[in-house]
Amino acid sequence: MDCQRCHKRPATVHLTQVINGEKTEVHVCAYCAKEQGYMSDNQDFTLNDLLSGLFNYDKSSSYKGKQSKSYQSNKQLKCPGCGLTYQEFAQIGKFGCADCYKTFDERLNPIFRRVHSGNIKHDGKIPKREGGNLHLKKQMNEYKTQLQHLIEQEEFEEAAKIRDQIRSLDEQIHHGQGGEE
């Protein structure tokens, strides 16, 4: 896509603005973005900046000597395995060891929700040709979750239908109709 302003260079800055329900999109090159005031001359956006934003690490506050409460509490959290602090993790976006997952556990779910569209668990995908019984087992787990919800809601007729579907899947799995594992 070419720059909407100069039509000479590729558009590298893409801005979306919504005002009173009206959406406006601007696609311009970096040069035109600086001319229009969308960016300052020394403003470069890096992947590290993106990750820092996701981890709620405000670099500007540390430069000014003022630190927010969340930043101060994160600073004291340190991994016993590798010595990595939450502040360092937020800056580099990588863990130092497996213990970091346990150490920073309560701060990770909000990050996962932002990155994974509200989900904190990644199920992945199973190839249809190679999945075999895995597809059936995944479907059975979904039915079991649904069954539990229906029982809690006291919707016993629907729960009975789901129970029957679970039994049917269980028979398919045990009789090998779902393919090889």
With a threshold of 0.75, does the pTM exceed it? no
Q: What is the pLDDT of residue 60?
A: 44
Give burial (CB, 10 Å; 0-12/13-18/19+) of 134: middle
- In order along its 181 residues, the chain shows pLDDT tens digits of 899 999 999 998 888 887 878 888 899 998 888 887 777 655 555 565 556 555 554 444 444 344 444 444 444 788 999 998 888 887 777 888 989 888 888 888 777 777 766 777 766 776 766 666 777 888 889 999 999 999 999 999 999 999 999 999 888 888 765 444 4
181 burial (CB, 10 Å; 0-12 / 13-18 / 19+) is: exposed
User: What is the distance between the alpha carbons of residues 130 and 73, in angstroms, rounded to a whole number?
Assistant: 47
Domain edges within the chain? 13-45, 48-115, 128-174
